[in-house]
Amino acid sequence: LRAQRQRSISEAAAPAGHGSERPPRVPSPAGAASSRAAQLRSLLQRGRIVVMPCCYDALTARLVERMGFELTFMTGFGVSAAYGYPDCQLVSYQEMLTSAFNICSALRSTPCIGDGDTGYGNAVNVKRTVRG
C-alpha cells in the first residue's frame, strides 16, 4: 500500500505530458451527489474509524482522492488560510460555498464533508447554509 501511495504521489507530481494522466473531468450526472451521500452514510454506519484527510481546494481534494482515502473533509481553517485570513469567520458564506463547489467538482467518487462553521448567522441562516 505504501509503494502504491508513493507511486501515486510521483504521478501527481509529474509534469504534464509525463506518466499516466487522467482524462479531463466530465461533469457528474445529477445522481452523483446522492450516490456520494449514500456512500458517506455507508461509511459512517460501519462502526469503525474512517481516516479522512482535510482538503481546502480542488488540488488538495484530488490528492486525497488519488491517495485512495474513502472520505475527505473540507476544512474551514484551510479555506480561510487559502484566502489569506485567520480562521475567525472572515471568509464569507459565498467564498465557502465556492470552495465547496470547486472541491466537490474535483472529486470523482470520494464523498466530502463540509465545514459549515457557525452557520453564518441565526437559525434561519444555519438552515440556508445546510441547504447550500
For position 108, what pLDDT does the model report?
94
Q: Is the distance from CB of 84 to CB of 129 less than 8 angstroms?
A: no
Q: Which of 53-62, 86-95, 97-106, 120-129 has the lowest mean pLDDT?
A: 120-129
- Amino acid identity at 116: G
| Banded pLDDT at 102 (limits 50, 70, 90) | very high
Q: Is the distance from CB of 90 to CB of 99 less than 8 angstroms?
A: no
How buried is 58 (Cβ within 10 angstroms: 0-12 exposed, 13-18 middle, 19+ buried)? middle
CA distance 10 to 5: 9
How buried is 11 (Cβ within 10 angstroms: 0-12 exposed, 13-18 middle, 19+ buried)? middle
CA distances from 6 to 2, 13, 59, 68 (A): 6, 11, 17, 12
For position 1, what pLDDT does the model report?
54
Is residue 42 predicted with pLDDT exceeding 50?
A: yes
pLDDT digits (tens, 9 = 90+) for 3-32: 554 444 444 444 344 344 433 343 444 556
For position 75, what pLDDT does the model report?
95
CA distances from 69 to 22, 95, 100, 117 (A): 18, 26, 18, 24
pLDDT digits (tens, 9 = 90+) for 60-98: 999 999 999 999 999 999 999 999 999 998 998 899 999
Strand, helix or coil at 54? strand
- pTM for the structure as a whole: 0.69
